[in-house]
Amino acid sequence: MSFIEFRNVCKMYPGSKTNTVDNFNLNIEEKEFIAFVGPSGCGKSTTLRMVAGFEEITGGGLYIDGRKMNDVAPRDRGIAMVFQNYALYPHMTVEKNIGYGLKNMKLPSNQIKEKVDWAIQILGLEEYRYRKPKNLSGGQRQRVALGRAIVKNQKVFLMDEPLSNLDAKLRVSMRTEISKLHRDLGATTIYVTHDQVEAMTMADRIVIMKDGVIQQVGKPMELYDHPKNQFVAGFIGSPQMNFFQVTVEGKTVRFQDGNTITLPDDSAKRLNGRQGQMVLGIRGEDVKLNGGDLDTDRTETQQAVITNTEVMGNENNLYFMFGGSQAVARVSKYELSRVGDSISFVFTPSKMHFFDPNTGINYMEA
Ligand SMILES: Nc1ncnc2c1ncn2[C@@H]1O[C@H](COP(=O)(O)OP(=O)(O)OP(=O)(O)O)[C@@H](O)[C@H]1O
Ligand SMILES: [Mg+2]
């Protein structure tokens, strides 16, 4: 049995006729770091709150360490939680804030001190020990909120968008801190975010949700390279994967503007005889300018004119119209071009995905 098991977990809010979380099935191993991602309203917080016990589970079962939790009170579930809007007590110092929960649990004061000292040290808050929250930066306050959770020494750690109130730079450094904390503490962690970069960089495995339904569960690179459907393909990765409406006849892929490319044998094989309308997907880094290092004799070179550029230095995006859609190529700084320049490019043949235009299923992964 896995450490945390969701078995057909459902949530129907009172007054609603449909499940907000629908048949959620997931096994989480001890010490894993799992991220839930998905667009706003897809049910991430609801699912997390059901784990914490703040929201009733209306169908299925939730098990932690072999024990069914549906009717167990939140404080008896062995869980610590950090929210987006962690409220620190304004009149208390950092150390008092961190120790408050333990005081409530009626722990002897020498034990409280020991745990608070440990948390303050691990989170690098020594300098701020006697300060009140209003005299701390956002990142320092966030660390106090983390400290409050870690002193409880629970086996399960739940975090709901804990970094969303921080500025971009602080988010990056807190990301690293939380990952390190997870390695040091080894608590099984569920981390909710709608930021796919956070999920990609921090999680052992990612759960992608849409409309209360799991779309795919996998390691970050599995989801990136082998999305099971067009939603996952479009959600993971920035800039978004390029999508084109195409018609496939035999080995010929015809774009809406009449351009064609020929499918390589192994892609054709994976299409398994499927024909007709499809959505072709290809990531920006798999659009190779001037053929890149590909054997261009075997792939057709296409032409386009750049309509927009995004120059970030290490990473640069060239936008152009092709196949009836806007498309993007991710290029190195040595391949930069300007708006109005003509480019020639190929799609890396082995990196093309083909999706069912109705269900979104990725034929290449089916
Ligand atoms: N108490 C409630 N009663 C009825 N519906 C609710 C309740 N709480 C949340 N919902 C609805 O359930 C759906 C899922 O909400 P949830 O908060 O789980 O989304 P989320 O994925 O965490 O989104 P976000 O990224 O915006 O935080 C939403 O449509 C929301 O309006
Ligand atoms: Mg939420």
Phi, psi (degrees; rounded to nearest 5) at 78: 75, 40
Distance, CA of 190 to CA of 199 (rounded, Å): 11
Distance CA 338, CA 327 (A): 15
- Cα(120)–Cα(116) distance, rounded to whole angstroms? 6
The answer to whether 197 and 238 are in contact (CB under 8 A) is yes
Query: 233 C-alpha to center of ligand 2: Å?
Result: 22
Per-residue pLDDT tens digits for 8-62: 999 999 999 999 999 999 999 999 999 999 999 999 999 999 999 999 999 999 9
Q: What pLDDT is stored for residue 299 in this prediction?
A: 64
Amino acid (one-letter) located at 150: I
Question: Using a 6 Å cutoff on CB, does residue 43 contact ligand 1?
Answer: yes
Which of the four pLDDT bands, split at 50, 70 and 90, describes residue 174? confident
The per-residue pLDDT for range 329-347, each reduced to its tens digit, is 999 998 888 999 999 999 9
Residue at token pair 């290809």: 282
Q: Is 216 close to ligand 1, i.e. is its CB under 6 Å away?
A: no
Beta bridge mates, 209: 214
Helix, coil or strand: residue 48: helix
Q: Work out the number of other CB atoms within 10 angstroms of the CB of residue 71.
A: 8
Give me the chain's average pLDDT, please: 93
Question: Alpha-carbon torsion 117, 123, 128, 134, what sign?
Answer: negative
Structure tokens at 312: 């970030």
State in Å, rounded, how far the first CA of the chain is from the last one: 28
Residue whose Cα lies nearest atom 16 of ligand 1: it is 43
Q: Cβ(212) to ligand 1 under 6 A?
A: no
How remote is the CA of residue 283 from the centroid of ligand 1, in Å?
31
**Angle between helix 138-150 and 109-122 (nearest 10):** 140
Helix%, strand%, coil% for the chain, nearest 5: 30, 30, 40
Domains annotated for the chain, with CATH where assigned, are: 4-231 (3.40.50.300), 240-355 (2.40.50.140)
Which amino acid belongs to residue 113?
A: K
In the block, residue with structure tokens 């799991």: 214
Q: What is the pLDDT of residue 353?
A: 96
Mean pLDDT of the 138-163 span: 90
pTM of the model: 0.92
How would you class 213 by CB atoms within 10 Å of its CB: exposed for 0-12, middle for 13-18, buried for 19 or more? middle
pLDDT digits (tens, 9 = 90+) for 287-300: 999 877 766 555 67
Q: Strand 242-249: give its sheet, edge to edge.
A: 260-262, 252-255, 242-249, 276-282, 353-355
Q: Hey, what are 193's tokens?
A: 């975010």
pLDDT in tens, 273-292: 899 999 999 999 999 998 77
DSSP conformational letter for 136: S
User: Is 182 close to ligand 1, i.e. is its CB under 6 Å away?
Assistant: no
The per-residue DSSP string of 80-98 comes to EEE-TT----TTS-HHHHH
**316 phi, psi to nearest 5 deg:** -135, 140
pLDDT at position 296, please? 56
For residue 83, the model assigns a pLDDT of: 81
